[in-house]
Structure 1
Amino acid sequence: MKITFPHMGNLYIPLKAVFEELGAEVVVPPKSNKRTLELGTKYSPEGICIPFKLTLGNYIQSIENGADTLFMWSGCDVCRIGYYQALHKEILKNLDYSIQMVCVEPFKSIGEIKLFLHKLKRISSGANYLKLVTIFKKGISLIQQVDALDEMVCKVRARTEDHWTVDKVYASFQEAVSQSRGFQETTDVIEQYRRAFTEITVNTSKDIIKVGITGEIYSVVEPFINQDILRKLGQMGVEVYCSVTASEFIREQIDFLPFISSEKDEVHRAAKPYLDREIGGHARHTIGNTVRFGEKDFDGVIHLMPFTCMPEIVAQSILPTVAREKRIPILKLVLDEMTGEAGIQTRVEAFIDLLKRRKNFTKAGKDQ
């Protein structure tokens, strides 16, 4: 078995380690790039969202590199992501690719976790359930470690004058972690580079702009689709906080377990005056986290959404009211295969300039 999975930010790091611990041969797809998007767009339905197209492109590139088993999340939910695997399977079948699909349902009960462990057992060729539970827990821990490192990088990049070193160290981390194998080696690499980032000189007293990123999870965490916006904002001296991450998404899936907690309830309470029910995707989180950013005195919010994403379109219509009542500026960026880097760069630079002027004006008013 040669198993692969689509890219979504750094989620490939824990997935790779999990499947290696199971004894499977892992084919990590090339980082999403222009060819990935071209392949996905060529064979996808025209009006479907760009995450679908990129994940399909990831699969095709992995199959070209020898993969025969595809891992994907699924489920009957109000977001179209639950149907990706069925459409992907049909498209790949029409392209004469012979593959197997391993799909994971949302974790809404102990029974669904047991079902997921059963699927892992098939991948591992019969590992006992104690080992599978241990691998499952270590995988969740690894997701949290990766997200914690990314959060640290965002803070360091915003507060240092040596952005080149930050980018160089992060690129080195990406190379090292891609060569690591299993949990222990991967954890050691993460810890090594965590220490490396603590050694970069930062200005802790720097008066920085703080921006929250909200929106559909794939658009927020996948740098190819969002034009690497986190790095660009950091190089402008902006501290970025992502409201949706892979680790928080997993915690929300399993927070019915007594030893797991998430921010889901707080986010839902914040969103309730504007949106009091689930409508799919991360729309409720977009509203709730924007409210929370306003209450925590963030300077602004950037809302990222794929073109044709219905939940985020609904959220987009509510956000002007949130912006007015919470007095927080919001920049909306709609992303698809036609999105140009120059256009995104210009709009983001103008938005950050607005936030800086607004902050200086507010500070001057308080000083008088």
Structure 2
Amino acid sequence: MKVSFPHMGCITGYKRLMEKLGHEVIMPDTPTQRTMDLGVKYSPEFICIPFKVMMGTYIECAEKGAEVIVSSGGNGPCRAGMYPDVHQKVLEELGYDTKVIVFDNMFVDFKAFYQKILMIKNNTPTHKLIGIAIFCYNLIKKMDRLEKQLKIRRAYELNQGDFTKAWKKIVKMFEACETNADLRRAYKKAIDMYDSIPVRHVEESDRIRVGIVGEIYVIMEPSVNKNTEEILNSLGVEVENVQYISDWVEHNVVPKWLPFPRSHRIFNLSDKISPINCGGHDKENMGWVIDFARRGFDGVVHLMPFACLPELVNLGKFPAVSEELNLPILSLSLDEQMGEAHVKTRLEAFTDLIRSKHYAKQRTRLDDVAETLESAAKKVGDKVGEVRDNLTTTPKTPKYQTK
């Protein structure tokens, strides 16, 4: 079959999975203005931007001859759970014979999950299918680790663009991998490439760190969030994104009673603030905000689609949470009208704010240390004076006494 998928996250993993299952892969293009225009034209007016961008991507894939589009769904009041039915209907009305297959949490309906696996496994024997799944998971996991490092190291590059160029080469290296041994070699070579890039040294105490939370599609797709992470890196800010494909797989495949993945523990951090899960990633995102505050992050950028119900719930809570945790939070509501200049301006202002706050905290800590040292010195001085007084006023006792 001719198979395609949305442009989101580590698409190299999707590509290799479908190729190893014997399908012809129709690679989705990076979303462009044409993608957005198609999505807006054929989508309900007030539906969120992930739906519109994916709709445009699906139409472009159907134009290339895709017979099947594989994607993931949503849960709870989040409208992502209804995406596949509407996407399918729009494609049919436009005359495309393209089927949309959506994978949800396997623990919710394992029978339906398994039936969808049978639809795409292409007569692949079960033992071989397991091996392919493990290989593709390892590929995605390693690429996600490298991408996490990219978003930290890129903040300190001497020549802007070096890490982005290296990342493009790394993606091509992993596309050529056929075995787990190839993956290990590619990973080692990628680390060597990172290490060879000149960076400026910044003391740990001077580093500015920002967490990215929000709806999974808009925080994972740079073309939709207007390259938020790259802009922050260019301003000298380390970035930690809370959503990666490997994390999503672990969260939806690994049982909650096991000590991993970490997302299950993060999910429970927000119980007091968000006792009810409103769908999407609202409860999980609130847990991440608390975790960022505990780890000493300087701020959080919250990315949400315009009119996204779960993230609107969080948006209403963030002012009080920000004040309680003493953690600045910037919320950006994204739709097709949002421009990159607007996003860049707000991120620059936010970076100035958190940098000033960071150095103010440092000055306060230094003042506290100086005050502590001064107090300790005074106590030592008082003690020395007391000892000196005792030595000068106490008469010496003779070493030997005669009867």
Give me the TM-score of the superposition, normalised by structure 2: 0.84
Match of 2:176 in 1: 180
Q: What is the identity percentage for the equivalent residue pairs of Structure 1 and Structure 2?
A: 32
Match of 2:306 in 1: 307
- How much has 1:124 moved relative to structure 2? 3.6
Partners of 1:182 and 1:88 in 2: CA distance? 33
Match of 1:205 in 2: 203
Amino acid at match of 1:335: L
Match of 1:219 in 2: 218
Partners of 1:294 and 1:259 in 2: CA distance? 25
Deviations 1:109-139 (A, max 9, x none): 6x72x75455334334311111122222222
Match of 2:23 in 1: 24
Partners of 2:187 and 2:334 in 1: CA distance? 31
Contact 2:74–2:280 (CA under 8 A) maintained in structure 1 = no
Match of 1:7 in 2: 7
Partners of 1:181 and 1:148 in 2: CA distance? 17
Given the superposition, is the C-alpha separation of residues 69 and 268 from structure 1 closer, same or farther in structure 2, using an over 3 Å criterion?
closer
Match of 1:70 in 2: 69
- How much has 1:224 moved relative to structure 2? 0.6
Amino acid at match of 2:295: K
Match of 1:324 in 2: 323
- How much has 1:183 moved relative to structure 2? 5.5
Deviations 1:275-294 (A, max 9, x none): 01211001001211111111
Contact 2:256–2:264 (CA under 8 A) maintained in structure 1 = no
Partners of 1:4 and 1:190 in 2: CA distance? 26
Partners of 1:75 and 1:343 in 2: CA distance? 29
Given the superposition, is the C-alpha separation of residues 259 and 27 from structure 1 closer, same or farther in structure 2, using an over 3 Å criterion?
farther
Determine helix, strand or coil for the equivalent of 1:155. helix
Alignment of 1:28-43 (within 5 A): 28-43=27-42
Larger deviation, residues 164-173 vs 323-332: 164-173
Amino acid at match of 1:106: N
Contact 1:212–1:240 (CA under 8 A) maintained in structure 2 = yes
Deviations 1:152-208 (A, max 9, x none): 10121123222221122123334555x636566677555533331122233263621
- Work out whether 1:147 is the aligned partner of 2:160: no
Q: Which of the residues 135, 154, 160 maps onto 2:157?
A: 160
Partners of 2:361 and 2:226 in 1: CA distance? 31
Partners of 2:36 and 2:261 in 1: CA distance? 33
Q: Which has the larger radius of gyration?
A: 2
- How much has 1:75 moved relative to structure 2? 6.2
Contact 1:117–1:129 (CA under 8 A) maintained in structure 2 = no
Deviations 1:69-119 (A, max 9, x none): 11122366432112111100000000001112322221216x72x754553
Determine helix, strand or coil for the equivalent of 1:72. strand
Alignment of 1:1-368 (within 5 A): 1-10=1-10, 12-74=11-73, 77-108=76-107, 112=110, 116-175=113-172, 177=174, 180=176, 182=178, 189-202=186-199, 203=201, 205=203, 207-256=206-255, 261-368=260-367
Deviations 1:323-357 (A, max 9, x none): 11110011111111000111110000000011111
Deviations 1:12-42 (A, max 9, x none): 1111111111011111111111111111111
Partners of 2:216 and 2:26 in 1: CA distance? 24
Partners of 2:163 and 2:195 in 1: CA distance? 11
| Ranges in structure 2 where 5+ consecutive residues have no aligned partner | 368-403
Partners of 2:44 and 2:185 in 1: CA distance? 42
Given the superposition, is the C-alpha separation of residues 182 and 83 from structure 1 closer, same or farther in structure 2, using an over 3 Å criterion?
farther
| Ranges in structure 1 where 5+ consecutive residues have no aligned partner | none
Partners of 1:298 and 1:162 in 2: CA distance? 26
Contact 1:117–1:132 (CA under 8 A) maintained in structure 2 = no
Contact 1:105–1:116 (CA under 8 A) maintained in structure 2 = yes
RMSD across aligned C-alpha pairs, in angstroms?
Answer: 2.2
Give the paired residue count: 364
Determine helix, strand or coil for the equivalent of 1:301. strand
Partners of 1:187 and 1:39 in 2: CA distance? 40
Contact 1:73–1:104 (CA under 8 A) maintained in structure 2 = yes
Larger deviation, residues 63-72 vs 42-51: 63-72
